[in-house]
Amino acid sequence: MAHRKFYDISVSLGKESIVFPGDTPYGRTMVQTLEDGDDCNLSGITMSAHAGTHVDAPYHFFKNGKTIDRFPVEKFILSARVVSIRNRVAIEPAELENVDVRPGEAILFKTRNSTEGPIENGMFREDFVYLSATGAEWCVHKWVGLVGIDYISIEKFDSKDFKVHRKILGNDIPILEGINLKNVPEGRYTLYCFPLNISGGDGAPVRAVLMG
């Protein structure tokens, strides 16, 4: 695979990752250290299932929705289309009219969240670019296999009804949040984004990689 190019689109936990207001912050504490004379370096981690780059499962918003461990592993290896979005507020269908996305393919939205740095500065901001409700309907209509966005949430910050999450997850489409597409050109890739196998999980952190 020497001719292949790989893009790690995951954010670094504890350095670049963003904490959504009210969620559990990421933390790592040393339990044992070589410096203190212990046999090894050993750390404990506290974090949300939605920390950093992560996948949302339908159970996140639906009582009887599919949990993360019920998805087959092959669901997280799929062709993906990276699409650049110029709209500085929201991802709308008008900008997606000419996008060639195939049924079952992932669509990953590259916005100013990536290009201008908000996804990797570790600080939450309310004015991130989000997917509109009509944009979510477009994704479902196209039968995409996964929807990805370059911020910690796909939903407008002050949403009260979570229409976007409910529309996508309600159709058993996983959502990949917190990806950094800054250095990824538009185009078609193979996406690998394996979530931790959390029993009954509403979501899970992933290491997301694109192969071009």
The DSSP result for 28-81, as a single string, is EEEEE-TTTT-SS-EEEEE--TT-SSEEE-GGGT-TTPPPGGGS-GGGGEEEEE
Report how far residue 122's alpha carbon sits from residue 197's, in angstroms, rounded to the nearest whole number. Answer: 26
Report how far residue 19's alpha carbon sits from residue 200's, in angstroms, rounded to the nearest whole number. Answer: 22
Compute φ and ψ for 123, nearest 5 degrees. -120, 125
Contact 202, 71 (CB under 8 A): no
Q: Catalytic: which of 54, 60, 141, 165? A: 60
Compute φ and ψ for 174, nearest 5 degrees. -65, 150
Report how far residue 22's alpha carbon sits from residue 135's, in angstroms, rounded to the nearest whole number. Answer: 26
Let me know if 60 is a catalytic residue.
yes
Q: Which residues are catalytic?
A: 60
